[in-house]
């Protein structure tokens, strides 16, 4: 079997942890498997580098940020290869470029365009464990790029797809995917299986246990992902294609995204084209908009509200402040969060949203914005109610049963 392992920041967070990962890899190798191991930076390193750069500039060049950020993963990849060699396991560390990962030119949020797996394959053929620095690739100009926060998950899935690996095991500090973040609700239950679509929603809506783009790619390439713990030998959760009878499960999980901000623009001229203008400007600055609400107009103007992820709120503010016509004042609130109910069963059942609204109302939690899709209901609420809302919804749908 050819297996891809990916170890996240906590799993390689100290020299002892790297030694423990080396033992795990050695064991899998001795069981007769071929292995590619993708690693993250030691936990906290990427954030530390970002702070370092801020010391010199409020707006550092994205190209240089990628040079900086990609270095954390090189440290862990080389240390793990050294630890493996010391155990007598033949291993070689590679950067993203050496592993053949080609991306577009969008620095700090690059997309993988292609992978040339020949260098990795030839090392595997020599019996070596290939250790790849995650989260990075190279663009057509030869510059290092990074894949967005949590991007080592994406590296692992893309490599598993390119090498046609049998599975892609993502190791973190939790032993699988739970019905909600077990740090918020200790009664959360581990799932044996979750469909790509549900996992994609949970990840996109804030469950950072897997990076959302990695789940999207796994679905596209049909890569079998398994979420496991590097701290135990527990079974883990398989992420795969949904089966016929899965609609029986109404709600499979609750996600929380604390990193949200809401922008309200008042006195927006109520005329054709104004929304197009505002949101085109935001898109040009690469600001991703999530929920949008527009009120019915009074006296020829209306209020327009939308949410953005917290890390893009400065860009969003700057765009609206620079907008010089047809709008009044702007309010900005980053003390909100988004809580979401996810489940494929919603496709065929009415009333899931009403149940969620009722449960939050009983707790006195005001819902400020709502959005729904076939398999999710998301609500923006005050951040101070985040945990209470998660636990309330978890109980409402009997997820702890």
Residues that bind Mg ion (CB under 5 A): 8, 150
**What is the DSSP annotation of 250-319?**
S--EEEEEEEEEEEEEEEEE-STTHHHHHHHHHHHTTPPEEEEEEPPPBTTEEEEEEEEEGGGHHHHHHH
3-state secondary structure of 138: strand
Nearer to ligand ASP, 150 or 206 (CB): 150
Which one of the spans 39-47, 169-177, 218-226, 309-317 is the region binding ligand ASP (CB under 6 A)?
A: 39-47
195 is a contact residue toward ligand ADP (CB under 6 A): no
Among 11, 40, 76, 180, binds ligand ASP (CB under 6 A): 40
Q: Which of residues 95-134 bind ligand ASP (CB under 6 A)?
A: 134
Among 13, 72, 100, 206, binds ligand ASP (CB under 6 A): 72
Q: How far apart are the C-alpha atoms of 381 and 361, rounded to whole Å?
A: 11
Q: Which residues of 67-81 are buried (b: 16+ CB within 10 A; e: fewer)?
A: bbbbbbbbbbbbbbb
Q: Which of residues 206-245 bind ligand ADP (CB under 6 A)?
A: 207-209
Select the binding partner of residue 151 from Mg ion, ligand ADP, ligand ASP, none (C-beta < 5 to 8 A, by kind): ligand ASP
State in angstroms the smallest separation of the CB of 78 from ligand ADP.
19
Among 149, 224, 266, 317, binds ligand ASP (CB under 6 A): 149
String of contacts with ligand ADP for each residue 122-151, x by CB under 6 A = ----------------------------x-
Q: How far apart are the C-alpha atoms of 385 and 131, rounded to whole Å?
A: 42
String of contacts with ligand ADP for each residue 325-344, x by CB under 6 A = --------------------
**What is the DSSP annotation of 16-55?**
HHHHHHHHHHHHHHHTT-EEEEEE-PPTTHHHHHHHHHHH
Where would I find the beta strands (DSSP E) of 310-388?
A: 330-342, 369-373, 376-382
State in angstroms the smallest separation of the CB of 149 from ligand ASP.
4
Closest CA to 155 of 232, 254, 77: 77
Helix (H) or strand (E) holding 195: strand 193-195
Which one of the spans 121-129, 171-179, 218-226, 314-322 is the region binding ligand ADP (CB under 6 A)?
A: 171-179
Cβ 9 vs Cβ 42: under 8 Å: yes
Q: Which residues bind ligand ADP (CB under 6 A)?
A: 8-11, 40, 150, 172-174, 177-178, 180-183, 202, 207-209, 253
Q: Which residues bind ligand ASP (CB under 6 A)?
A: 8-9, 40-41, 46, 72, 134-135, 149-153
């Amino acid at each position: 079997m050819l297996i891809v392992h990916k170890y996240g920041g906590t799993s390689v967070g100290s020299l002892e942890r790297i030694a423990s990962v080396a033992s795990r890899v050695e064991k899998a190798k001795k069981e007769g498997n071929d292995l590619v191991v993708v690693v993250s930076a030691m936990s906290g390193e990427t954030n530390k580098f970002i702070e370092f750069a801020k010391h010199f500039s409020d707006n550092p060049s994205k190209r240089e940020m990628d040079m900086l950020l990609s270095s954390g993963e090189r440290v862990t990849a080389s240390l793990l290869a050294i630890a493996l060699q010391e155990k007598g396991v033949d291993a070689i560390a590679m950067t993203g470029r050496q592993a053949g990962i080609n991306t577009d030119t969008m620095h700090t949020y690059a997309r993988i365009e292609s992978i040339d797996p020949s260098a990795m394959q030839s090392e595997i053929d020599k019996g070596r464990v290939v250790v790849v620095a995650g989260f990075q690739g190279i663009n057509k100009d030869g510059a290092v790029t990074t894949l967005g926060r949590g991007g080592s998950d994406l590296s692992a899935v893309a490599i598993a797809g390119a090498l046609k690996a049998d599975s892609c095991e993502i190791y973190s500090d939790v032993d699988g995917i739970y019905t909600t973040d077990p740090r918020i609700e200790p009664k959360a239950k581990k799932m044996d299986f979750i469909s790509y679509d549900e996992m994609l929603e949970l990840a996109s809506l804030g469950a950072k246990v897997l990076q959302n783009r990695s789940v999207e790619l796994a679905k596209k390439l049909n890569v079998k992902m398994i979420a496991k713990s590097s701290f135990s030998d527990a079974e883990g959760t398989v992420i795969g294609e949904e089966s016929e009878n899965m609609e029986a499960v109404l709600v499979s999980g609750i996600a929380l995204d604390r990193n949200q901000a809401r922008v309200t623009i008042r006195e927006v001229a109520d005329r054709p084209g104004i929304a197009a203008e505002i949101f085109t400007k935001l898109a040009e600055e690469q600001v991703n908009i999530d929920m949008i609400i527009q009120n019915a107009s009074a006296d020829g103007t209306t209020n327009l509200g939308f949410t953005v992820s917290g890390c893009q709120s400065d860009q969003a503010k700057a765009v609206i402040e620079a907008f010089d016509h047809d709008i009044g004042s702007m309010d900005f609130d980053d003390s909100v969060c988004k809580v979401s109910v996810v489940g494929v069963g919603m496709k065929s059942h009415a009333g899931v949203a009403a149940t969620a609204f009722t449960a939050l109302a009983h707790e006195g939690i005001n819902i400020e914005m709502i959005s729904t899709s076939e398999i999710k209901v998301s609500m923006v609420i005050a951040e101070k109610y985040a945990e209470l809302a998660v636990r309330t919804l978890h109980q409402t749908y009997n997820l702890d049963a």
